[in-house]
Amino acid sequence: MLKFLQLTLDFLDGAPGQRPAAPAAPAPVPAEPATRPGPPAPPAEPLHAVLAPATFHHPRANRQATLAGTFVAYEFRRRRRRSIGFLVGAEGLTVSAPAWVPLREVDAAVQEKSGWILAKLQAARQRRDQLESARIEWKDGACFPFLGEPVIVVLDPRRGTGAVLNTEAQALPGVPRLTLHVGLPHDAAAEQIRDVVQAWLMRQARRLFTERLDHFAPQLSVQWRKLALSNAGTRWGTAHSDGTIRLNWRLVHFRLPVIDYVVAHELSHLRVMDHSPKFWDTVATVVPDYAQLRGQLKDEALPGW
């Protein structure tokens, strides 16, 4: 803070030949009231503490690094592989390296990859924040997406048990036209409401997934034998050589074209069990715009349960 000091100079200017007048007696200075000194002011907080850099900490972290001023604690694993690998997931950064690679080379590789690592970690954090902000509060009037459209939960004890989707609600601008009438009292616990809605969604998922599997399998000249619903946190589907297809039931939150991409993706694995160019060419025969749909699947944040 800049301080300004003002200087005032007083001149006594008398007439020639005259003695200057005697200076006036100074006015008495009023005494200041006695005060008890207060506690000393707390020291100013350092700037680096106010503007603390972002930090990222993997729950199973066993190594750490400072990347462009950002502290990153990551999980380091020894794996049977040919080179150092980097994976950024919901938990944070995981670095894998062959047994013969010394730690100094791992540290150097982490520093060299710092820009990519920080961008991925920040994107993962933003996605997690979006999920938290979209977390559903299970009560009368709760809203969740179904096939890309918002659905309003209506507690309706007259319905008995279960849930029934009403598609005849009046369509108003900005107001969801779908309502799910849940047979629970208005004082039902949040866990009860959530469980009824989840059971309804899983029934819809099994019906819809079966229909889409039957639609795409003949086009791909494959045969699926069993459908299993999963609740995986990071995987939307898997395919096994015995014809078993496992799909995440939460896919019913997405629009139908996105669901079709995942179904076609897993069925294509019954012909090509890797992600080679031949595999993606197979997917493109039934879902030509798979790249765009794959991006939507990756970027759209689903509500937290």
CB 95 within 8 A of CB 63: yes
Closest CA to 153 of 131, 130, 171, 169: 169
Output the pLDDT for position 173. Answer: 54
Question: CA–CA separation, 303 vs 276, rounded Å?
Answer: 32
**Residue in the structure block whose two tokens are 């000194």:** 37
Quick check: is 262 in a domain?
yes
**Count of structural domains within the chain:** 2
Considering the domain architecture, whether residues 100 and 149 belong to the same structural domain is answered as no
Question: CA–CA separation, 125 vs 287, rounded Å?
Answer: 31
CATH of the domain at 225: 3.30.2010.10
Considering the domain architecture, whether residues 267 and 206 belong to the same structural domain is answered as yes
Output the pLDDT for position 168. Answer: 67
Q: What is the pLDDT of residues 232-255, one digit of tens each?
A: 767 899 999 999 999 999 999 999
Average pLDDT, the chain: 83
**Residue in the structure block whose two tokens are 């049977």:** 80
User: What is the pLDDT confidence band of residue 135, given thresholds at 50, 70 and 90?
Assistant: confident
Least confident of 123-132, 140-149, 197-206, 239-248: 123-132
Considering the domain architecture, whether residues 96 and 66 belong to the same structural domain is answered as yes
The first and second tokens of residue 6, run together, are 């003002």
User: What is the pLDDT confidence band of residue 158, given thresholds at 50, 70 and 90?
Assistant: confident
Considering the domain architecture, whether residues 110 and 191 belong to the same structural domain is answered as no
Considering the domain architecture, whether residues 191 and 157 belong to the same structural domain is answered as yes
Considering the domain architecture, whether residues 227 and 199 belong to the same structural domain is answered as yes
Considering the domain architecture, whether residues 103 and 156 belong to the same structural domain is answered as no
More confident residue, 51 or 214: 214
Closest CA to 91 of 138, 127, 43, 51: 127
pTM of the model: 0.63
Output the pLDDT for position 12. Answer: 31
Q: Answer positive or negative: Cα dihedral of 140, 156, 165, 171.
A: negative
Output the pLDDT for position 18. Answer: 44
Output the pLDDT for position 10. Answer: 35
Considering the domain architecture, whether residues 194 and 73 belong to the same structural domain is answered as no
Closest CA to 284 of 297, 273, 294: 294
Q: Which domain holds residue 252?
A: 143-299
Considering the domain architecture, whether residues 231 and 174 belong to the same structural domain is answered as yes
Q: What is the pLDDT of residues 258-277, one digit of tens each?
A: 999 999 999 999 999 999 99
Considering the domain architecture, whether residues 295 and 161 belong to the same structural domain is answered as yes
Last residue of a domain, one of 106, 133, 160: 133
Considering the domain architecture, whether residues 81 and 183 belong to the same structural domain is answered as no
Considering the domain architecture, whether residues 163 and 289 belong to the same structural domain is answered as yes
Last residue of a domain, one of 86, 109, 133: 133
Question: CA–CA separation, 22 vs 50, rounded Å?
Answer: 60
Last residue of a domain, one of 102, 133, 164: 133
